[in-house]
Structure 1
Amino acid sequence: MAMRVLETITNMTQLCQKIVHINIRWSVLNKVPFFRQSFRFLWDRILMCSVGKSIQYRRLHRCASSPSPAAIECKFASGDPTTTCTDYDKDSDLVALKISLLGDCQIGKTSFVIKYVGDEQEHRCLQTTGLNLMDKTLFIKGARIAFSIWDVGGDHRSLDHVPVACKDAEAILFMFDLTSRCTLNSIIGWHRQARKWNQMAIPIIIGTKFDDFVQLPLDMQWTIVSQARMYTKAMKATLFFSSATHNINVNKIFKFITAKLFNLPWTVERNLTIGEPIIDY
């Protein structure tokens, strides 16, 4: 009798141990998704810290469907308060894009930027000797795109700012005055300096002061257009004629940059008609 009781107790003890073992296994299995999610979260944090912007680019592609051309026109409309924002606290959906501006003095670079970012942003820009920084943020399909615009002064003392302005830039705007051929000739030197520090940025050539340019004789206009197009081909760039005074092609240039970077279904139409704002690529 005692032997049976002892055997029963032994069997019950073994059964309890198996039940406890099974419960522990189920407890671990139930926690696996939690550990997996925690690991993925930590891994994403590590990737974001190590590669920066590329993660943000992929997030924009994954979370946002590509807008239509009409939607892009609407989203990038100048002065639309629903598309601009200066709040950088909530950066979970923020994609920062660095844009550099290079060119000689007195060609209208700063006026060009102020026309795009708005007069209210002019007073919030960071100014140093030979370098101005301005910003503007847009909304596209739930993602925020923040342009950080680095405007390098055009004198020789400003050359020291070229490395920091061009490094990590997504696009570099080489600007010249359409009424001054010497400023057009200078963009070759600016391009050479910029490519020392950044060979991947999108090159864009911009002729400013188009409103004054159209007052020139047609033969002079044709000469400048031909030379600008030749430089555009040599630099594998895109050419825009613009006017900050009349807001000609200012917004369109930044639309083009954004569409180019994120493969959005929007392209500019070429315009090679003398007397109209030239667009060539």
Structure 2
Amino acid sequence: MASNTSTNNGGGYNFKVVLLGEGCVGKTSVVLRYVEDKFNDKHISTLQASFFNKKLNINGKRINLAIWDTAGQEKFHALGPIYYRMSNGAILVYDITDEETFKKVKNWVKELRKMLGSDIRLVIAGNKVDLEKERNVTVEEAEEYAKQVGAVHFHTSAKQNFNIEEMFLDLTQRMMQHADIVEQKSTLMRNNSTRRNVVVVEDESAEPAQPSKSGCCSGGGS
């Protein structure tokens, strides 16, 4: 499986993150709140995909996040692989007031695991917790499902700026950990390969070895 993780000698990381989910769950609001700290009450549907860039510094390490916000309408579903291929992380967003959007998250998870396996770090975001009274997806069900598929679950509100920063930070740190492990394994394999390919060449300039003298008596015939 191809991985888009890249690190450089200066301690920098480049990661691709994709947001997936149904239309109207608040994907664009989540990204805009994180990248620009803005919120717009008027819903504007994303057509196909939007691209955002965010630069971070965590423990002295530079991180560049390329964030893809995809359209949620069914007619754009087939375009999904174009945007999530080579992704290091995915945020799957659902609306806590709409159970159908949570079911669709499960479909996305299956698709991502099928295409990218364990190379991708997953977050499941239950958005719009400012509408808690209208909740239709139980906290227990959502968190249990996230645990089953190896994702981390966050409750978020783009409107109230709740858990947005924390969610992206957690995902970024997990992508960094995974990138470091991949790099370590790659270095180990390279080192092992180098050792296997070592050929011992005898020094031709050395004095030829003298034949050892036989311990038996010479010249005496029977």
Report the aligned-residue RMSD. Answer: 2.7
> What is aligned with 2:166?
252
1:128 Cα deviation from its structure 2 partner: 7.9
Letter in 2 for 1:109: K
8 Å CA contact 2:6–2:13 kept in 1: the answer is no
State yes or no: 1:230 paired with 2:144: yes
1:53 Cα deviation from its structure 2 partner: 4.2
Letter in 1 for 2:150: K
5 Å-filtered alignment, 1:195-206, equals 195-199=113-117, 200-206=119-125
Give the secondary-structure state (helix, strand or coil) at the position aligned to 1:190: helix
Letter in 2 for 1:99: V
8 Å CA contact 1:112–1:244 kept in 2: the answer is yes
- Per-residue CA distance 1:140-199 (angstroms, 9 max, x = gap): 455431111111111122223211222111111111001111111111111122223212
State yes or no: 1:189 paired with 2:107: yes
> When the two structures are aligned, how many residues end up with a matched partner?
170
State yes or no: 1:261 paired with 2:179: no
> What is aligned with 2:66?
148
1:212 Cα deviation from its structure 2 partner: 0.6
5 Å-filtered alignment, 1:103-182, equals 103-118=21-36, 129-182=47-100
8 Å CA contact 1:117–1:134 kept in 2: the answer is yes
> What is aligned with 2:195?
none
- Per-residue CA distance 1:226-246 (angstroms, 9 max, x = gap): 221232122121100000111
Q: Which has the higher contact order (CA 8 A, sep 6+)?
A: 2
Letter in 1 for 2:123: I
1:203 Cα deviation from its structure 2 partner: 1.2
> What is aligned with 1:208?
127
Please report the TM-score for the alignment, with normalisation by the length of structure 1.
Answer: 0.55
5 Å-filtered alignment, 1:25-174, equals 53-56=5-8, 59-60=10-11, 94-118=12-36, 129-174=47-92
Distance (Å, rounded) in 1 between the aligned partners of 2:165 and 2:78: 29
Distance (Å, rounded) in 1 between the aligned partners of 2:172 and 2:4: 18
8 Å CA contact 2:53–2:66 kept in 1: the answer is yes
Gapped runs of 5+ residues in structure 1? 1-50, 61-93, 265-281
8 Å CA contact 1:177–1:183 kept in 2: the answer is yes
CA distance 1:261–1:193, shift in 2 (3 Å): closer
Distance (Å, rounded) in 2 between the aligned partners of 1:250 and 1:100: 15
Letter in 2 for 1:230: E
Q: Any runs of at least 4 consecutive aligned residues in structure 1 with deviations exceeding 3 A, and if so which?
A: 51-55, 140-143
